[in-house]
Amino acid sequence: MAELTLSYVHGANDKPLLGETIGQFFDAACAEWETRPALVVRHQNVRLSYGELRLAVDKLAAGLLALGLQPGDRIGIWSPNNSEWVLTQFATAKAGLILVNINPAYRATELEYALNKVGCKALILAERFKSSDYVAILLELAPELGCSAPGYLEALRLPSLRSIVLLGDGRHPGTFRFSDVLARSSAAEAERIAALGPQLQFDDPINIQFTSGTTGFPKGATLSHHNILNNGFFIGESMRLTPDDRLCIPVPLYHCFGMVLGNLAALTHGACMVFPGEGFDPLTTLQTVAEERCTALHGVPTMFIAQLDHPEFGRFDLASLRTGIMAGSPCPIEVMKRAVEKMHLSEITIAYGMTETSPVSFQSSTEDPLERRVSTVGRIQPHLEVKIIDLNGRIVPPGTPGELLTRGYSVMLGYWGDEERTREAIDAARWMRTGDLATIDAEGYCNIVGRIKDMVIRGGENVYPREIEEFLYRHPKIQDVQVIGVPDDRYGEEVCAWVKLRPGVTASEEEIRAFCRDKIAHYKVPRYIKFVDEFPMTVTGKIQKFVMRERTIAELGLKVVKTA
């Protein structure tokens, strides 16, 4: 590849994009790999071949139509990871329904907003997960459910919702059980599913994912068959997946990491999807990898840290592992190196993207030198474009930080029912603004510097938290660290580090500062250091720096500096 003169890259590739719907590709894949293992869900003791998976998916797709749902209708799913989630993902695609992913951590207000924003006609939900009683929360919003016939809900606060489908064996008035929906499948609906296939178009919307904004209401990123099927395929290509691979998926299905980087990457390569449990548990994940002989493992950095530092880590044989993806938040170089060395992940990749771009734009290759794989997010994915721009919208030279913009097949259709915010995110030339600060070097490798809103401006100096975090990870006592900016009367902002120490060790603030002095610029040395046991984070493992900032300001009694 010729050296770049501007921070613009495009993924020219001889492998064409897939011009099919998910349903069409699914049917062909299940026929090709009919007898091979497709799905293992350990906590439910479910094991399906591709042929068995297709039978179950077709039955569910027909059952959903029997509820009165029509192509284009929205159906929500509010559940942790399980086999029913996987069946629903593929069945809705075959029936032309739009699957609406609802965060398992949502409470009543958030659930009400999500269901009404996109007009969900049906909702599939678990009875409970962790501390959430989903049925009780739903009854709070729709007390009418108790005296409604199944499929005929008329709730004042949820005007579009008609059908409630409950996972598990419990019975509640006004609801169908998931098994009831499967049983409603008839020959007529099966014929209708078969007839629907050729009518559906790959540019049809198929999935709505709510992005977790730090302010205001979440936005419903609307994705098509073409968006996520192709992204899943090229993600799997980067990992060199084959039908011999078994991919362990401890990340949430409601998020792109689970359903695209996990399920669709596996489907498009005939690999087996392996789910350790409802949610992430380091011990269960290690046990699953060892006993199922998994060859690939996904996770966010905090998940890999939890496994590597687990007291029982040493008793598991992880030699079957080869590849996987570390993504979801910036991947510390030291954590990547430990995963390669201790977990046999010699071909682990890093992926970068956002929900609105299906999600992956950059991914490292299994063939990239280790130093490139641990220090960058790789190169541009096939058939996509990226440019890095300055505040005036002009493309910057290689190595210069600026905002990363993505264009290509992966860019969402838009935010559901929100043209104004869609126009703010996607410009007239179809470039998607990411809000991320990045650099692209002369060879096309990308490095994420941080979020624009997370950048600290101290006394006129731009300070990138990621750079300080990477440096602090080298301290032998530090297990995890996150850096934020907090207000300061003199400099505008000061650097604050939240530090999580390794088990059984102690350190002082001065010890951490001394480690920094004379090794990084004085203005990057954290003025404030806070020792913590954990960080505030989302269900997907993304650190919530805005929460950290609010807590630090309150604890230190800092005044927010007003700017013109």
pLDDT value of residue 1: 65
In 3D space, the residue among 336, 325, 332 whose CA is nearest the CA of residue 360 turns out to be 325
Where do the structural domains in the chain lie, given as residue ranges?
22-219, 457-556
How far is residue 118's CA from residue 222's CA, in Å, rounded to a whole number? 10
pTM (two decimals): 0.90
Strand (E) or helix (H) holding 209: strand 205-211
Strand (E) or helix (H) holding 47: strand 46-49
For the beta carbon of residue 188, count every other beta carbon within 10 angstroms: 10
The strand pair at 74-78 and 176-177 is best described as unpaired
In 3D space, the residue among 310, 315, 370 whose CA is nearest the CA of residue 337 turns out to be 370
Enter the tokens of residue 78.
Answer: 């509010």
Report which DSSP code applies to 18: P
Report which DSSP code applies to 264: I
Q: Which of the following CATH numbers is that of domain 22-219: 3.40.50.300, 3.40.640.10, 3.40.50.980, 3.30.70.920?
A: 3.40.50.980
pLDDT value of residue 564: 34
Report which DSSP code applies to 198: G
Give the CA distances from residue 243 to residues 30, 49, 319, in Å, rounded to whole numbers and listed in that order: 12, 12, 19
Domains 22-219 and 457-556 share a fold: no
How far is residue 71's CA from residue 62's CA, in Å, rounded to a whole number? 12
How far is residue 497's CA from residue 495's CA, in Å, rounded to a whole number? 7
Q: Which residues pair with 444 in a beta bridge?
A: none
pLDDT value of residue 374: 80
Residue with the two structure tokens 């954290």: 526
Helices (H), 490-535: 509-516
In 3D space, the residue among 202, 231, 219 whose CA is nearest the CA of residue 411 turns out to be 231
Give the CA distances from residue 270 to residues 30, 140, 348, 432, in Å, rounded to whole numbers and listed in that order: 8, 43, 19, 31
pLDDT value of residue 216: 62
| Intervals of the chain under pLDDT 50 | 214-215, 562-564
End-to-end CA distance of the chain: 45
pLDDT value of residue 560: 72
Enter the tokens of residue 469.
Answer: 């975090």
3-state secondary structure 170-195: CCCCCCEEHHHHHHCCCHHHHHHHHH
Q: What is the CATH number of domain 457-556?
A: 3.30.300.30
Q: Which residues pair with 330 in a beta bridge?
A: none
Residue with the two structure tokens 């991320």: 436
pLDDT value of residue 212: 63
